[in-house]
Amino acid sequence: MDTTRIFEIAREKNMSSKDIIKVCLDLGFKVKGHMSTVSPEQKKEILRIIDKGKRDEAGERKSDWKEEKLINIKKVLEKELDKEEKEGRFKVKLLQGKKKIEAKKSSKVAETISRKSESIKTKEKIKKKPEIKKIIELPEGITAKQLSERINISSSEIIQVLFDMGETVNVNQTLGKDLVEFLSHEYNFKYNIIRFEDKIEEIFKDSKEDLVKKPPVVTVMGHVDHGKTTLLDAIRKSDVVQGEAGGITQHIGAYQIEYNGRKITFIDTPGHKAFTEMRARGARVTDIAVVVIAADDGIMPQTSEAINHAKEANVPIIVAINKIDLPNSNPDKVKQGLTEFNLVPEEWGGETVFVELSAKNKTNIDELLEMILLIADLNEIMGNEKAEGSGIIIESRLDKGMGAVGTVIIRRGSIKVGDFFVTGNSYGKVRSIRDEKGQLIKKGVLSQPAEISGFASVPQAGDKFFVVKNEKVAKEIISKRDYDRKMSKMAGSRRHISLEELSEISKEDDIKKLKIVLKSESYGSLDAVVKSLMEIEKEEIKIDIIHKAVGAISESDILLASASNAIVIGFGIISIPKAKKLAEEENIDVRTYNIIYKLIDDIKLSLEGLLEPKIEEFEKGRIEVRKIFKIPKEGVIAGCYILEGSVDRGDKVRVIRDEKIIYESKIASMHRFKDDVKKVTAGYECGIRVENYQDINKGDFLEIYELKEIENSKSSSK
C-alpha cells in the first residue's frame, strides 16, 4: 500500500508541515510529526481540504480551523506529539473548545434574531393599532396627556408621532382639531368633540320613561312676499302684518297656538339668516320647517336657499303652496320645479307633504296644521317636561326699562321666575317672564316661547340657555367655560374645509364629501358649472352642491357654508363687502372665477391631491364712478371717488355693475385736476382711465385688487 509522508505533501503544495498537520488533526487523522505517513485516501481528503481553502478563504471549514482553533492547535503542536495520552487529552480539549465557540456563536445569532423579531413586532404593533370600536368623547382643547389616557397610548409616543409630522407639542399643550383628526387616523379611533354646552347637557340625560310628546317647534321660511307672515296671521288670528314696515317681518317672532287640544310653536324669520346662524352655533331649535311658496310666483332665489338650509339642518320639510286663489296660480308648476330639490309630492309617489292653501282667504289652514301634527307624531318629537329648564336664544335686545332681554324657546323642562341660569358668556337670574302676547307669567313650559329678563349682558342668537341650582354653580360653570374657551383658542381658530385641505385628504385616499355653495351671474352659466362639476366627481370624494343660486355672494351663503363646512364658489360675480368680512371671521374658503375651465381645473386638481399654491386675492380699494368724461385721443375717463383703500397706476381692476363683473383690466392712467398722478387714497376724487375699456357708466363701481400666492399651510409647516 502506497503511503505519503506529511513533509512530501507540504512540499507538493508549497506549504509548511505544521499547516498540513493542522489539517490532518482537524480531519481526525493520527499523525505525530512531519515524518508521519498517510494513506492515499487520507492524502486525497487532505488535498481536497487544502484546495477548497485556497478557493474560498471565507469558507466555513477554513474559517473554523484558521480563526477559532489556531491557538489551541499551536499549543498542541508544541507538546510531545508522540505520546498517545497527551494526544488524547488534546483531542478532548479541542472538541470542548469547538462546542463552546459554536454555542457562543449560536447564542449571539439567536439574540440578534430575537432582537430583530421584537423590533419588527413592535413596529407592526405601532402601525397596526387595534381599532377602538366605541366613539371616544373628547372635550374642546384636549391636551396630549388627556388624549393619551383616553386612547391608552403613552403621551411620549403621541408626542413623537406629532414630532415626526412636523408638530412640536408637550404633554400639557392643547391639540387643535386637525391634530386630533390626524391622530385618530394614526391610532384607528373614532371621536366626538364635546363642547361646553354638550357637557352641561350630559349631566341631564333623559330616560325614555321621562319623555312625553311635546309641542313641535315649526320654522316658517320662504321668499320675500310669498305670504309667510300672512300665513302666521291666519293661523293665530291676529293682525301682525299691519304693524310692520311694508309688510316685511323686521325681526324674529315666536308664537304658540292651540289646535285640536295640542299646541304648536311657530317661528317667523325674515329669511333664514337667524335659522342658519343658530345651526352654525350648534343649536337645533327647529323640529319642522314649513317652506312657503307663492303659486303665482314659483321658486325664487330665497326659496331655494330656504330649502337647502332646511335640508342641511336635517329637519322634516312641509311645502305650503300659498296664493292658490289668484287666477294665474299654478301649483303643479311649483311641484314640478321642486322635484329638482328631491321634494316629490306624496301623490306623485314621493315622501314630501304638500299643502295647497290661501293664507288670505284662510283656505286649507286646518289641513296644514293637521299635517304638522302628523309629521310631529311620525318623527316622535318628545321632551322631558319635569327636568331642569334649558332652551335656545332666538332673539335678544337691550330694553331701556328691563335691560338685556332674550327670547327663549324652551327645549327641555321649565323655566321659573327666580331661577339662576347660564347662557353664552354670562350668567343671570330670571327676573320676569312674558309670553308671546306680552303677558307676565310665572313659568315657561316645554316648547313655549318666553321673553326673559335678567341677563347680565345681551345674549346672541343660538346661545344655549341652562337653568342651574344657584349662583355659586353658575359662577363656577362660567369660570370653567372661560378656561375651556381659552384652551380651545390656544389650540387654534375655527377651521373649515378648503381646497388645499381637500388636496391633502385626496392624497390619503379617504372617502370624503366636498360641499359647495355655488353662486353665478346667470342661470345658464350656473347650469354649465354644475354639469361640469358633476362630470369630474371621483369615487373617493363626492361633490355635493348644497346650494346654488344667481347673484352676488351674500352673508347668508357664508353662514350656510359655515354651518355645513362647505366652500363658496362664485362664477362671474363678487362677494358683497359684509360677506367678505364674515368669511374672514368664519374662516370660510371663498373662490371667485371668470373662466369655467380654471374653476374646474382647481376642483379637479384638489380631488387628485395636486392643487397648486392658492392665489389669494386682496382688495386694495373700492371706487364709485360718479361722472363720465369723453376726452379726444384719450377716450372715456371716469370721474371717480375713492370710497375705501387706495389705487395705484397699473393696479388690477374690475368694473362692477349691478353686483356683476362686467370687465377686468388694469388702471391705465389717473389724473387729479390737470396732473398725472401715480396714487390716490380714500376720500379723494380723481379721473381714471381703464385700459382697453370705454363702456363705463355712471353708478358703476371699480374694485381694485392684487393677487398673492399663498402657500399651503400644511406643506409649509412641514
Q: Which residue has the higher pLDDT, 441 or 312?
A: 441
The CATH number given to 618-710 is 2.40.30.10
Which grid cell is 606? 384638489
Is residue 239 scored above 70 in pLDDT? no
Separation between Cα atoms, residue 532 and residue 602, nearest integer Å: 12
Listed range (164-178, 421-435, 557-571) with the worst mean pLDDT: 164-178
Is pLDDT at 144 greater than 50 in this prediction?
yes
Partnered with residue 137 across adjacent β-strands are 192
pLDDT of residue 566: 86
Distances (CA, A) of 100 to 24, 33, 104, 105, 111: 22, 28, 6, 9, 16
Q: What is the distance of C-alpha 377 from the center of its chain?
A: 34
Assess whether the region 215-380 and the region 499-612 belong to the same CATH fold.
Answer: yes
- What DSSP character marks residue 106? H
pLDDT digits (tens, 9 = 90+) for 572-600: 888 888 888 888 888 888 888 888 878 88
Indicate the residue type of 324. I
Residues 6+ apart with CB under 8 A from 158: 144, 147, 148, 183
Mean pLDDT, all residues of the chain: 76
* 8 A C-beta contact, residue 634 and residue 689: yes
Q: Which residue has the cell 408637550?
A: 170
SS3 string, 557-613, reads HHHHHHHHCCEEEEECECECHHHHHHHHHHCCCEEEECCHHHHHHHHHHHHCCCCCC
Question: If phi over 0 gives left and psi between -120 and 50 gives alpha, with beta otherwise, what is residue 296?
Answer: alpha
- Write out pLDDT tens, residues 358-367: 988 888 999 9
CATH for the 499-612 domain, from 3.40.50.10050, 1.10.150.20, 3.40.1110.10, 3.40.50.880: 3.40.50.10050
Q: 298-357 pLDDT, tens per residue?
A: 888 778 877 887 887 788 999 999 999 898 889 999 999 999 888 999 888 888 999 999
List CB contacts of 363: < 8 A, sequence separation 6 or more.
Answer: 324, 325, 357
CATH number of 390-490: 2.40.30.10
Contact by Cβ (8 Å): 385, 211: no
Residue 462 to residues 308, 473, 608: CA-CA distances in angstroms? 19, 22, 38
Superfamily of segment(s) 215-380: P-loop containing nucleotide triphosphate hydrolases (3.40.50.300)
Q: Of 159 and 253, which is predicted with more confidence?
A: 159
The confidence band for 541, taking pLDDT boundaries of 50, 70 and 90, is: low
15-38: per-residue pLDDT in tens?
777 778 888 877 878 777 767 788
Give one DSSP letter per residue of 663-684, joined into a string.
Answer: EEEEEEEEEETTEE-SEEETT-
Residue 536 pLDDT class (50, 70, 90 cuts): confident
pTM over 0.75: no
Domain ranges of the chain: 4-101, 132-194, 215-380, 390-490, 499-612, 618-710
